[in-house]
Amino acid sequence: MAGEFVNHPLLAFNAEVLERGRLTFGCVMKSPVSQNPHLWRLVRRWRQSLSFRLTFAHLLVFGVLIIASVTMIYTMQRSLLVRQGEDYAEQLGLRVVSDLNGLILQAQNQTRVLAELAQVVEPDPAKYQELFSQVIIPPDMRDVVAGGGIWPEPYAFDPTVERRSFFWGMEPNGSLKYYDDYNDPTGPGYHMEHWYIPGRYYPPSAAIWSRSYTDPYSLQPMVTCAVPIYKEQQFNGVATIDLKLEGLNRTLIKAANTIGGYLFVVDREGRFVAFPQMDMIRREHVDEVGDVQTQYLNLKDVTTKLPGMSRIAELHDEMNIRMIQNAQQNMVHFTQRVDELHRKYPVLTTQQTQLLIASMFDQTQVKALNPRQVRRMTLASMPLVSERCMVSVFHMPRTYWNVVMVVPVSTFTKPADQASNRLALWFVGIQAVVMLVLFVVAGRLVLKSPRQRIVRDVLLKWDRKSDKQLEDDLEDIGSSMEQIRQLVRPQTPSANGNNHAIYVNTDIERLIRDVLAIDAEYMNLKNILTHVQVSVEQLIKVDAYRLAQVLTNLMTNARHALEKVDDDQRRLHVSAHLIDNSLLQITVHDTGCGIDPTQLHNIFEHGFTTNPSARGVGLHSAALAVRELNGSINAHSDGLDKGSTFTISIPVEVQPSINLISMDSYESGYPGGRSI
């Protein structure tokens, strides 16, 4: 029976059919098609037909295009979106740090005002109480200022009294309270305090920032800005302004809402100044009299319990080591000065003494006033964030604070994934429609021509249409990518969310130099020689923010004009002077490509520009800002290739009793109006 079963004719026929199917498809077909020889021949004929091959070719090309486009979107385009998100967050972080630096500069200027008043006011207790209690804290800084005062040298205020300080602290209700505790003869005094000692070694008008600490009498956590007081070229004491740590912390927490993360600050010694949750970086204990004393921790104190802090501590130590090594190599008698200061003030550790001397030397070498980024890195986790984070470290000159910005990586990857998904769906849909159209067109051509001619014509036309369609698709991809870039890169919001004027006492020369410092490296690269000449010797009460906007736009316009002339002809001159002690006039003159005189009347109109890559809003914005300052702006040019001059005139209020003491004498050695 076995032999008869194997040789059965029907089984042999089916075995032959199955063998053909196995050779054709690579497997044994078990569908009903394999059981019907007529149906199988139809299937085989269809597989060998031109329509099947064209359909298969369309599907193959469609699959390859889909795989290539999706791969490109989820690799190159997604990475680009993530990088743009990181750069945008970093720009916002730098804006926040710049605002913090502006607050610090404002506190320094106010402390300089106190020091200058102390130089000229007669040493009379009644006059000191009446005068300094009114000016010690500016009204616009009451949220962050903890107090301030005047601290004379021993027997300097009264030949019979060793300690005679005048210190006022801010009460919770906003009123000032006078503290006389530091003058107690039985107490420790103030002449050995860490914020007082450096004043003996700094030049006039120099600002020194202390580490974070808690005042033993007001019990207020704070940092102190001290400025030396000199009378007849002799050190006479220091003036101070104290900033509340919780005030600084509230400012940073509010600003951090715009970046999707948080910021914290450490001082020169690595001690925390601000942190979102202050309880994590401080210790409290009760002293012998029952008062609660607060000690703020150092970076090294939290490296074992807070993730990621060890890397921040290493970077902070690297910066301090470089600064100390620079002083050791370039400062005369560095070691002898450190040993002498340490012997005289044993309350300072050797490291604190080295940092103090090195920072003094560094201030004579480094002229930068604006914060700068020193490192950007990605860490597995950070305090308060249990995921991968982008960490950016910004350095603030003069205070030697480091501001650390922490942003979760998901802040950038989630929007990038969402945008990539939308783009992929859109792109696949467009490709599917295009391929369907090509398939229908190719099918109709096949039905109207002989077989060989159809194959040749269809393939040639398909190639031409594919090339054109690919070009169109690539243009569509570029357009879509640009739209997504615009979605993830919106306009940067203002730092404080409002546009009302804030008038502050301003050093005009310092403001001009700060604006020039923004593009100093670029101007040096382009061989642009810049000259500043300011004859204003008083503080000017003006809306410094809007004035800085105007100067930034004018100097940017001048830089663009100077780039169009030869290197040896690139000159930028900025001057400022007072007219009748009530009108500030600032002139920005460049030797650039000049302006056609027939176009001068349109120069400040919105959208008007001679630069094809510009939008024509810079000079228009400057004109609007000058108008808000109740001033005027004029443009003049003798013609093309003859340079241009922009003059702004702004009514100001001069502070006649406050004369500026030039910082150049010890900062740079150059007189006012030096080239930079």
Question: Please, which pLDDT band fits residue 613 given cuts at 50, 70 and 90?
Answer: low
Across 138-168, b (16+ Cβ under 10 Å) vs e yields beebeebbbbbbbbbbeebbeeeeebbbbbb
387 φ, ψ (degrees, to nearest 5): -145, 175
End-to-end C-alpha distance for the chain, whole angstroms = 110
- Whether residue 29 lies inside any domain: the answer is yes
- Whether residue 328 lies inside any domain: the answer is no
CA distance 556 to 620: 13
> What single string gives the DSSP state of each residue in 117-161?
HHHHS---HHHHHHHHHHHSS-GGGTTTEEEEEEEEPTTTSBTTB
The reply to whether 544 and 620 lie within a common domain is yes
- For residues 77 and 58, the answer to whether their CB atoms sit within 8 Å is no
Q: What are 33-52's pLDDT values in tens digits?
A: 445 665 666 666 666 666 67
Mean per-residue pLDDT for 439-449? 63
The reply to whether 103 and 223 lie within a common domain is yes
Question: Picking from 49-53, 181-185, 262-266, 379-383, which range would have the lowest pLDDT averaged per residue?
Answer: 49-53
> Based on the number of CB atoms within 10 Å of its own CB, is 235 exposed (0-12), middle (13-18) or buried (19 or more)?
middle
CA distance 170 to 178: 9
Which has more pLDDT, 249 or 78? Answer: 249
The reply to whether 156 and 290 lie within a common domain is yes
Mean per-residue pLDDT for 593-597? 88
Question: Picking from 128-132, 147-151, 308-312, 662-666, which range would have the lowest pLDDT averaged per residue?
Answer: 662-666
Instruction: Look up tokens 């830089």; give the residue.
Output: 559
- Whether residue 13 lies inside any domain: the answer is yes
CATH number of the domain at 287, please.
3.30.450.20
Question: Picking from 342-351, 354-363, 411-420, 660-669, which range would have the lowest pLDDT averaged per residue?
Answer: 660-669
- Whether residue 98 lies inside any domain: the answer is yes
In this structure, the chain runs to a length of 676
Question: Please, which pLDDT band fits residue 586 given cuts at 50, 70 and 90?
Answer: very high
Instruction: Look up tokens 């001619």; give the residue.
Output: 453
- For residues 286 and 293, the answer to whether their CB atoms sit within 8 Å is yes
The reply to whether 536 and 626 lie within a common domain is yes
- Whether residue 395 lies inside any domain: the answer is no
State yes or no: pLDDT of 141 exceeds 70: yes
- Highest mean pLDDT out of 171-175, 374-378, 437-441: 374-378
Q: Three-state SS for 578?
A: strand
Give the other-Cβ count within 10 Å of 467's Cβ: 10
State yes or no: pLDDT of 25 exceeds 90: no
Mean per-residue pLDDT for 141-165? 92
Instruction: Look up tokens 């743009």; give the residue.
Output: 84
Element containing residue 469 per DSSP (H, E): helix 451-488
166 closest CA partner among 117, 232, 199, 233 = 117
Mean per-residue pLDDT for 370-375? 86
Element containing residue 264 per DSSP (H, E): strand 262-266
The upper half-sphere exposure of residue 475, i.e. CA atoms within 13 Å in the direction of its Cβ, equals 5
The reply to whether 147 and 281 lie within a common domain is yes
- For residues 373 and 364, the answer to whether their CB atoms sit within 8 Å is no
Which has more pLDDT, 446 or 330? Answer: 330
- Whether residue 244 lies inside any domain: the answer is yes
CATH number of the domain at 559, please.
3.30.565.10
- Whether residue 314 lies inside any domain: the answer is no
Question: Please, which pLDDT band fits residue 6 given cuts at 50, 70 and 90?
Answer: very low
Domain end position, chosen among 388, 411, 434: 411
- Highest mean pLDDT out of 473-477, 485-489, 554-558: 554-558
- For residues 58 and 435, the answer to whether their CB atoms sit within 8 Å is yes
Q: What are 637-650's pLDDT values in tens digits?
A: 988 888 999 999 99
Q: What are 81-110's pLDDT values in tens digits?
A: 777 778 888 888 888 888 888 889 899 999
Q: Which residue type, as a one-letter code, is found at position 233? A: Q
CA distance 457 to 445: 8
One-letter-per-residue 3-state SS of 275-302: CCCHHHHEEEEECCCCCEEEEECEHHHH
Quote the pLDDT of residue 466: 52
Give 491's DSSP letter: P
The CA-atom distances, in angstroms, between 90 and each of 97, 100, 520 are 10, 15, 21
Q: Three-state SS for 645?
A: strand
Mean per-residue pLDDT for 192-211? 90
- For residues 18 and 34, the answer to whether their CB atoms sit within 8 Å is yes
Which has more pLDDT, 219 or 483? Answer: 219
Instruction: Look up tokens 């002498």; give the residue.
Output: 340
431 closest CA partner among 64, 156, 89 = 64
- Whether residue 58 lies inside any domain: the answer is no
CA distance 652 to 630: 10
State yes or no: pLDDT of 482 exceeds 70: no
CA distance 301 to 282: 10
What is the extent of the structural domain holding 44?
2-48
Q: What are 237-255's pLDDT values in tens digits?
A: 999 999 998 888 888 888 8
Question: Picking from 18-22, 388-392, 496-500, 540-544, which range would have the lowest pLDDT averaged per residue?
Answer: 18-22
The reply to whether 16 and 139 lie within a common domain is no
The reply to whether 660 and 605 lie within a common domain is yes
Positive or negative, the Cα torsion across 317, 322, 324, 328? Answer: positive
The reply to whether 517 and 580 lie within a common domain is yes
How many domains does one find in the chain? Answer: 3
Quote the pLDDT of residue 285: 76
Q: Which residue type, as a one-letter code, is found at position 229? A: I
The reply to whether 43 and 143 lie within a common domain is no
187 φ, ψ (degrees, to nearest 5): -90, 180
Element containing residue 33 per DSSP (H, E): none
Mean per-residue pLDDT for 402-408? 92
State yes or no: pLDDT of 475 exceeds 60: no
Quote the pLDDT of residue 22: 45
Quote the pLDDT of residue 267: 92
Quote the pLDDT of residue 470: 52
Q: Are strands 221-231 and 234-244 parallel, antiparallel or unpaired?
A: antiparallel
- For residues 505 and 109, the answer to whether their CB atoms sit within 8 Å is yes
Angle CA(655)–CA(660)–CA(663) in degrees, nearest 5? 155
The reply to whether 30 and 139 lie within a common domain is no
The reply to whether 102 and 26 lie within a common domain is no
Domain end position, chosen among 411, 446, 464: 411
Q: What are 320-361's pLDDT values in tens digits?
A: 999 999 999 988 888 898 998 888 888 888 888 898 888 888
Which has more pLDDT, 199 or 50? Answer: 199
The reply to whether 230 and 291 lie within a common domain is yes
Q: What percent of the chain has pLDDT over 90?
A: 28
